[in-house]
Structure 1
Amino acid sequence: MQQKIVLIGGPSSGKTTIINALLKKGYGCMTEVSRAVIVKAKEEGITQLFLTDPLLFSNLLLEGREKQYQEAEALENKIIFFDRGIPDIHAYLNFVKTEYPSYFIDKSKAYKYTKIFHFPPWKEIYTTDSERYESFEESEVIDTYLTKAYLELGYTLIQVPFGSVMERTAFILNAISQE
């Protein structure tokens, strides 16, 4: 049976760096969808689509993450890592206090993951860029919404300790191999 492993946490907590390290090790990985959505919106003249129209942004993310999940199922890899999962979407909508249709929760319940690794906010590595505009303090608040969303869906979160890329990657791989 294929394991679908999700890396969650607020912005700039190290998820993508670890996804890239796992890719280099030959693991199947699904990269973050939101950056592609943000870049496409910017090309269309919308500086911050999530802030301008959070529901449209979230629907585009849902479409992309559903597609990734389905693509992962077609792969022969025994382990697939995801840079964020479907429940992240409604967690962010809760963060910005935007009402949303029930299908966001329904999809989060329909597409199940095997394990969730949580990357806590880490001030020493926190940076912003053209797609990541949140302050560190906002990242901490987002993190609480993310953990709440996954816990409410019945997931157990495995906290990834601070450390080097090699140490964090080894922690995740060791946690998976101990089953």
Structure 2
Amino acid sequence: MNTKRIVITGGPGTGKTSIINELLSRGHICLEEISRQVTLKAREDGVDQLFLTQPLLFSELLLAGREKQYHQAEKLPSDHVFLDRGIPDVLAYMDYIGDSYPETFINSCKTHTYDMVFILEPWQEIFVSDNERYENFDQAVKIHHHLLNTYERFNYKLMDVPFDSVENRALHILNSIKNL
């Protein structure tokens, strides 16, 4: 099967998870964000914010997890799979904090390509911080710009998802992939 991999990305607090949950409720196959799992596992191991204290280790764990999701998507019984974030997100966040990363990160972006990428802009009205999200809204805006730059660096045409209800945002995405 030639499964289409469709990324939904954006800075923190833009509504990605809500859209993924809506797509799941409509019967679509989605692979959820793994950074919260990595963060919670690190907390169990006594590290409060792994991304802040060991950003390269955190990013290596994310990269490995997202590569695994990329390959997992091909084996799922669907013509398309939605992913909550893609591999280029790892580089965007590292660029955001100004940290370097090995060439393997770049190579992974080149060898694991997606069929379509939707990006959600920062939206003040829905932005909420929580225990796993340490960024404020201004930081979310900066991260958004790094995401734009990183995906464009790897020649993706980003599809904007307009501000609207979760249901309508999911419908916008579904209508956009009809001819994929």
Q: TM-score, normalised by structure 2?
A: 0.98
Q: Does 1:25 align with 2:15?
A: no
Post-superposition Cα deviations, 1:156-176, rounded to whole Å, max 9, x if no partner, equal: 000000000111011000001
Give the letter aligned to residue 139 of structure 1. A
Pairs within 5 Å for 1:103-142: 103-142=104-143
Report deviation, 1:98. Answer: 0.5
Q: Which runs of 4+ in 1 moved over 2 A?
A: none
Gaps of 5+ in 1: none
Secondary structure of the 2:177 match is helix
Pairs within 5 Å for 1:161-172: 161-172=162-173
Q: What is the aligned partner in structure 1 of residue 57 from structure 2? A: 56
Instruction: Give the Cα separation in 2 of the matches to 1:39 and 1:75.
Output: 26
Q: TM-score, normalised by structure 1?
A: 0.98
Instruction: Give the Cα separation in 2 of the matches to 1:99 and 1:113.
Output: 24
Instruction: Give the Cα separation in 2 of the matches to 1:172 and 1:75.
Output: 20
Gaps of 5+ in 2: none
Report % sequence identity.
48
**Count of residue pairs the alignment pairs up:** 179
Q: Does 1:144 align with 2:145?
A: yes
Report deviation, 1:178. Answer: 3.7
Instruction: Give the Cα separation in 2 of the matches to 1:2 and 1:65.
Output: 16
Q: RMSD of the TM alignment (CA)?
A: 0.7
Secondary structure of the 1:143 match is helix
